[in-house]
Structure 1
Amino acid sequence: MKNALGGLFMVGLPGTELDDSTRDLINRYGINNFILFKRNAENPEQIRTLCLELVAACRAAGLGAPLISIDQEGGTVARLKGPHFTEFPDARVLAESERAEELLVEYAKTCARELLAVGINMNLAPVLDVSPAGLGLFMERRALGGTPEQVARLGALVITAMQENGLAACGKHFPGLGGATLDPHKVLPVVDRSLEELRGCDLVPFAAAIRAGVAGVMTSHTVYPQLDPDQPATLSSRILGGVLRDELGYDGMVVTDDLEMGAIENDGTVADAALVAFKAGADMLLICHEHVKIIAAYELLSRAVGGVVSGERVRRSLERIGAVRRRFARG
């Protein structure tokens, strides 16, 4: 069981080549899911070489082909830029065009073609947050609109187009970051919408994404007092278990947002947060930067298995991740 726990983590690596520290995470801890950033990308040939090295290292360690992800939303959040990759405006711009559906399908198909060509098999997109314009909300530019109907329709369209073209999609940030004014990279936001607003607005695009067969759902590092006054969604069994699993009926892969964000790390260690998130219902624990924190989280989770975490719980999460890997990871 111990080495299998590595399959529950998605991690960043420091540079443009497969380094000794990342190789150690693969060989010693069985980690075989990765996230790439600008720091890992110089040009398509280099990115493809890096991804092939990750695949080969995982294979040599007896692990499944890795899920390799990136944030390629377009606009303000796009890790890969021109001239080698197509640059799109913010999702909001595409969504408000008269040709919104055509442009968003083109975006999704282009992402699939360009990312798969360099070995990336998962896009941490689309954003499914409902964010009305003109209110100073943090997600306004990245959102597909300000009404649940529009975000649900266009989000499902993007998911379907990406996944039909072989690229896993991950809808974010559950249960909805659209009402936040603060940036969870730095501090812990609060979205104090009523249960009626949350159900009638924020949850609607996620329900549509689930119906569309989205490969993954990413959690929000945000407190929703009407759902759980004590914990942000990432760490809340009421939200991940009660709302996402039970109320919306989602049995797919749940991915945390980066556990090194200020919203989480300001109040405790990454390792503690990883354990709480897993117990709350997350399957994939995302840690994007420091490998020492990844190892600490792995070791804490390892010690918890057989105690506060059952082997059956680990097995179910690995099955959910494995289903995505079988469908989208090649190599």
Structure 2
Amino acid sequence: MTAQQAASPRVRATWRIPLVTASLVAACLGCAGPSRAVVESPPPGAAVGTAASTTTAATCADTVFDAMTEPQRIGQLFMGGIAAAQPDRSQIRVLQENHVGSVFLAGRSTAGTAATRNLVDGLQAGADTVAGRPVRLLVATDQEGGQVQVLSGPGFSKIPRALVQGTWSPDVLRSRAQQWAGELKSAGVDLNLAPVADVVPASLGTANAPIGRYGRQFGFTPATVTVHSDAFLKGSAQAGVLATLKHFPGLGRVTGNTDTTAGVTDTETGTGSASIEPFRSGIKAGAPFVMVSLATYSKIDPHHQAVFSTPVIQGMLRTTLGFKGVVISDDLGNAVAVKAVPPGNRAVDFLKAGGDLVLTVNPSLVPTMANAVRTRTAQDEAFARHVDQSVHRILSAKAQEGLLSCG
């Protein structure tokens, strides 16, 4: 518990043990706190709601934001990893103590939809309460298909790799994606970190370590990837699950894998490259989330990795492509690509560049990251305003998913 929480008479902690296998510790914090003047942020994306519903979501987000303490707001900026098969109780406690607003189900689980829902319900029991109302967790996972499918077992389909999905008609893929997203919804998962919108040239193929090696791409041309990533997005939206275009501005032209390799650089992709088209089309279609890669793009910003690059996030993604939704980082916890950057700097630099939601598969880094963000917020008013806008975007996405209660 932070000093601010302990000092506030409006904050109380109620600990209980939800009835789930992992014996999760749950914390409820009823609180309210002062707010800063902010610039109202646009809704996350047309694919997840009508104009009326997004307006209502934004209003609800405003209400919740105004009632939050500063630590609670900062906690909304983080997504921490939790093992989908055997959650670690101490890691869950770290996330709860830091008011982390989103969790990522990582690893592999063959438990099926019912058991996963039981786990998620236990996690949700520990979500913060603001002004007497729950602010439910945004629960995410990786459910692309092929070797990248976290959740399986009874109730979950076996999803083929994207290279196979790309041989189907867009209508068939949209229907299948709706089915897969429905399975996630039944398991309590709100956000899928898919589809992959990266274009791997046929000449590179499996030599592309992060994508081509595993057949994670829908095809080898921008046209094929565009129509199929759009179909995946539409199917997900029809099932009420948020989807994520990744890994902007594309990992199709690199050889190194940022998860396991430092200094991965794309020397070909520029602001006008055809490989950007799947992202452009998906954003136009209303993609609610976009994930930014950890590679460096020498023709766009040779001095910063994309995840820390203002030209990539604010310039290309926000201004040129007009993306108004939630910008999420690739893993800033365990990825070798960012190991040389201190954890606190990873979070601050991503947010400073225009990002919204810090993903760390390693939840033990959250306290350091959150403290760094809190310190920078107190010192830099422009940074503080951006943080508030990011929290609004995340809360708006939650409201559209029914994870906030304002009625």
TM-score normalized with structure 1 length: 0.92
Q: Which of these two proteins has the greater Rg computed from alpha carbons?
A: 2
Describe the SS at the equivalent of 1:58: coil
What is the correspondence of 1:195-234 to structure 2 with a 5 Å cutoff? 195=270, 198-234=271-307
What is the correspondence of 1:15-94 to structure 2 with a 5 Å cutoff? 16-17=86-87, 19-26=89-96, 28-38=97-107, 42-60=111-129, 63-94=134-165
In structure 2, do the counterparts of structure 1 residues 294 and 319 end up closer, same or farther at CA, with 3 Å as the change threshold? same
Match of 1:158 in 2: 232
Deviation at residue 260 of structure 1 after TM alignment:
2.0
Match of 2:386 in 1: 313
In structure 2, do the counterparts of structure 1 residues 311 and 194 end up closer, same or farther at CA, with 3 Å as the change threshold? closer
Rounded to whole Å, the distance in 1 between the matches of 2:171 and 2:269 is 34
Match of 1:2 in 2: 71
Rounded to whole Å, the distance in 2 between the matches of 1:318 and 1:266 is 26
Describe the SS at the equivalent of 2:174: helix
8 Å contact from structure 2 (residues 142, 194) kept in 1 = yes
Match of 1:295 in 2: 367
- Specify which of 262, 265, 274 is matched with residue 190 of structure 1: 265
- Specify which of 180, 186, 189 is matched with residue 254 of structure 2: 180
Deviation at residue 176 of structure 1 after TM alignment:
0.8
Matched to 1:237, the amino acid is: T
Match of 1:111 in 2: 180
Supply the RMSD in Å over aligned alpha carbons: 2.0
8 Å contact from structure 1 (residues 221, 263) kept in 2 = no
Match of 1:143 in 2: 217
Match of 2:61 in 1: none
Across the two proteins, how many residue pairs are aligned to each other? 325
Match of 2:12 in 1: none
Deviation at residue 107 of structure 1 after TM alignment:
2.9
Residue identity over aligned pairs, in percent, reads 28
Rounded to whole Å, the distance in 2 between the matches of 1:90 and 1:20 is 34
Matched to 1:47, the amino acid is: T
Describe the SS at the equivalent of 2:251: coil
Rounded to whole Å, the distance in 2 between the matches of 1:175 and 1:194 is 8
Rounded to whole Å, the distance in 1 between the matches of 2:86 and 2:165 is 31
In structure 2, do the counterparts of structure 1 residues 177 and 121 end up closer, same or farther at CA, with 3 Å as the change threshold? same
Rounded to whole Å, the distance in 2 between the matches of 1:263 and 1:212 is 33
Matched to 2:120, the amino acid is: C
Describe the SS at the equivalent of 2:398: helix
Describe the SS at the equivalent of 1:2: helix
Rounded to whole Å, the distance in 1 between the matches of 2:303 and 2:165 is 37
Rounded to whole Å, the distance in 1 between the matches of 2:356 and 2:307 is 11
Q: Structure 1 unaligned runs (5+)?
A: none
Deviation at residue 329 of structure 1 after TM alignment:
4.5
Deviations 1:270-321 (A, max 9, x none): 2211110110111000011242x11100111111103235332111101111
Q: Structure 2 unaligned runs (5+)?
A: 1-69
Higher relative contact order (CA 8 A, sep 6+): 2
Rounded to whole Å, the distance in 1 between the matches of 2:189 and 2:335 is 27
Rounded to whole Å, the distance in 2 between the matches of 1:148 and 1:263 is 28
Deviations 1:92-130 (A, max 9, x none): 1120x2x33244223311221110111001100000001
Rounded to whole Å, the distance in 1 between the matches of 2:72 and 2:129 is 14
Describe the SS at the equivalent of 2:140: strand
Match of 1:250 in 2: 323
8 Å contact from structure 1 (residues 18, 53) kept in 2 = no
